Structure formats: C-alpha cells, structure tokens
Amino acid sequence: MKTRKFTPGGINFTYFLLWFGLMALVTSGGAVPLRADAPPLLTLNPWVGSEIAQTWDHPMEENKAWIRNDGQSAHIFWYNSYGRIRFQPDNAYSPAIGYRVMYVDLGTHSPLLPEQLTDQSLVLGAHLLRNSRWDLGVVLGGGYSGNSPFGDSRAYYGLGHIQLQRRISPEDQFDLTLDYIGNGGLLPDVPLPGFAWEHRAKRTYWRLGYPTDEIRLHPLPQIQLLGYYEAPIDGRAEVSYRIIKGLYGFADFQNYFEGYTINTYPDHQRLFMEFSRIEAGIRVIHEPLCDISVALGYAFNQEFMRGFDIRSLQPQAQIANAPYVAFLIRGKF
C-alpha cells in the first residue's frame, strides 16, 4: 500500500475544503474557537455564571453505509461527552476537573476495522499565579484511547498543559504554552511548545499562533461567525443566525482526526480516523432549563489509516459517504 505523507504537495480535497472554509470566514470576518472537547483547555477557561459544572453531550448517528475496500456494511454511532467541574463556585478562576468520554461504534464486522473505538480522559487544572499582568496555569491528567476499553496497557497516555499569559493591554495578551498529548496526531511522545497573540474587543476576538488559530465575530447582533484550526488538521467553521429570542439557525463544517491504539497492532502503530462533515440545524435555548441543538448533515472522506503519527500513514479502509443526524445538549448545574 502507498504510504501517505503529510506534505504540502499531498494535501487532498479534505484539506482544500477546510482551508477554503476557514479563509472564507476570515475574509468575511469569521471566527475560530479553541477546540471545545479538550479538557485541558476547558479547566483553565474563566467561569462566567454561578454554576459549578458545565457539560456537553454530542451523539451522532449515520445512515447505513459500507466499507469501500471489501463491501462490508457499516453503521457509525458516535457519542462525545465532555465537561468540567469547579471546586469554588464563587471563583471565576477556580481549580477544576475536566473530563472527556468519546465512544465510536463502527457497526461493522469487517476484518479491516475494529467494531468500536473509545477515548476517555480526566484532568485537573489550576491557575498557580494570577495578577494584573501575569497568569500561569497548569493542567495534569491522563487518558485511555483504544479499541479494548482498559484492556491494553499501551493505550494509556498522559496529558499535560502549561500556559503563561502576559497581558499587554486591556484588549491584548501574549501566550506561551507547552503541551504533552500522549495520544496526539503529531509527535505524541514529545512536549510541543506553542504561542499566540490574543485580542478581545466588544464584537471581535482573535487568536493567532500555534497550535491553534481562533477568530470570532459578531458583524450584526443576530449573526455570529466562528471557526478554528488546530494542528495538525483539526478544524471547524460555523455561522449562526438568531431567528427570534431563544431560537437560532446554524450551518457547520468540521474536519476531525484522531488516533487509537489497537490491541492487535504492533507497538508504535495506531489506527487513525479522519472524516469531514457538513451540517445545518437549529438551536433552542431556554435558560436555565434547556439548550439543545439538532442537526442534519453529511459525512464524507471517512478514512482510516495506520501509522505512528500523521507524518507517515498507510491507508487501511474507507467508509462511504453517508447522511447523519446529530444532537448537542449543553448543561449547567
């Protein structure tokens, strides 16, 4: 099989769509939030209300499809749950616990793919130093990512995040970060440095740097543009419109890439899942009781590859494109 190299000359149609969507948002004033399902980021974000816990539950089910390599049927069910819990309800920068539970049922008996994949993690985050100019935050934890829940010692991984923020002005700050993501898609065995310049204004927020770029914009009170890019190839672009109070319409594009340890694979080799999706739906908010989104979408470029990380992957299998239905339930307690 041909080895896939992640080089500028090898960017496929998925990456073209991702960058096209992000650049379209940027040129129109688009936006990119940090990846919401990463517990290290959640635990250090400031709290706004008086709640002690926030949760996000995101189930998604595709219509029946098939594996293009051998014709076996496939029926993907995806459940992604994440959240955070703080220790001090009256402190916007309280130490907090973050969690994530990802479960993917591929609904297939093909010998090319496992029947299920799971990624579960738990972290503790705290601000060790915070004053008018400096903010030092640290996150430590770990997780398990594989096809046999807690049955493969190689599937356990560590998580670490250090961020030092220097406020330059009321609207600007500079960030330095160091991340260790033991199941990451790029150099999972190496702590990776990062940097960013952040700017916050009334209707605009942007963050430029590495490994994340983020922009948010409210060009009109009823319109919000969002998007992000996170190395190596995760990304999202979204536009939402407030129809009436408590009712929103939205359209969304996302590219997803993640690796899993498979108990039958040799050491230093994992199974990577990449897919793209485009969807549209409605969001209903009736605080504090209800915040639910419902969407219909189309999943495409559903590829599975084997290798150590994104730098050199071999194709394993591909699932045919399929429509899907998805829900997102946000909770505050």
Give yes or no for a contact between 262 and 249, defined as CB atoms under 8 angstroms apart.
no
Q: Could you tell me the pLDDT band of residue 38, with boundaries at 50, 70 and 90?
A: low
Q: Could you tell me the pLDDT band of residue 12, with boundaries at 50, 70 and 90?
A: very low
Give yes or no for a contact between 227 and 25, defined as CB atoms under 8 angstroms apart.
yes
Per-residue pLDDT tens over the stretch 220-251:
999 999 989 998 889 999 999 999 999 999 99
pLDDT at 37: 41
Per-residue pLDDT tens over the stretch 151-194:
999 999 999 999 999 999 999 999 999 999 999 999 999 999 99
Q: Could you tell me the pLDDT band of residue 14, with boundaries at 50, 70 and 90?
A: very low
* Sequence-separated (6 or more) residues with CB below 8 Å from residue 75: 62, 63, 64, 65, 105, 106, 107, 108
* Sequence-separated (6 or more) residues with CB below 8 Å from residue 61: 76, 77, 78, 324, 325, 326
What predicted TM-score, i.e. pTM, was given to this entire model? Answer: 0.85
SS3 153: helix
Per-residue pLDDT tens over the stretch 45-87:
999 888 999 999 999 999 999 999 999 999 999 999 999 999 9
Distance CA 332, CA 60 (A): 21
pLDDT at 28: 32
Distance CA 54, CA 33 (A): 17
Say which residue, 7 or 66, is predicted with more confidence: 66
Residue 307, Ramachandran bin (φ over 0: left; ψ between -120 and 50: alpha; else beta): left
